[in-house]
Amino acid sequence: MKYCLVNSGLASRPGLPVGVEQWVEALGGELVAPAALATPAACARYDVIHIVCCPQNDRLIADIRNRLGWNAKTRVILSLRSVFDARPETHDHDALVAACAQADLLVAGDHATVLHYERMTGRRVHALPDPADRRRLHAEAAASGPKLDRIA
């Protein structure tokens, strides 16, 4: 399977051991810039195109779907931001529903977020937590000092 995660500026620290960025390593894929998917042929190189659903990506999501069409073998997956995210959600309801309509699969990291977005979009949302690189987590924790200073 050829997988890519679109880095549209949301992965400010792609080296993080946890979070959506870890899908690239877990699936042996690529972190690509939106410009790398500027043509239908570029999009069709992948079996899965994974995008974080947020207001900044609404146009990108629609553009990629338009380039692929609905009969393509490439699947578009949208990761929905957690309802527990510390950043305020500013996604307009109609824009969110329109963006989600462009996806083949919607995923969220926890059950409360799944229920929230299922109610908002009227679509099935799958609970799929982001992977974590346990080796890197352990290495970072060990480098942080005494055990009392760490949270695991």
Per-residue confidence in pLDDT tens, the chain, 152 aa: 999 999 876 555 555 446 788 888 889 999 999 999 999 999 999 999 999 988 888 999 999 999 999 999 999 999 998 887 756 556 788 999 999 999 999 999 999 999 999 999 999 999 998 887 777 766 666 666 665 555 55
Q: What's the pLDDT score for residue 19? A: 78
Closest CA to 73 of 53, 43, 51, 100: 43
Closest CA to 62 of 107, 9, 99: 99
Q: What's the pLDDT score for residue 89? A: 57
Q: Distance of CA 81 to CAs 12, 50, 54, 129, 141, Å?
A: 15, 13, 8, 11, 26
Q: At what angle do helices 93-101 and 58-68 cross, to 10 degrees?
A: 30
Q: What's the pLDDT score for residue 100? A: 95
Q: What's the pLDDT score for residue 17? A: 47
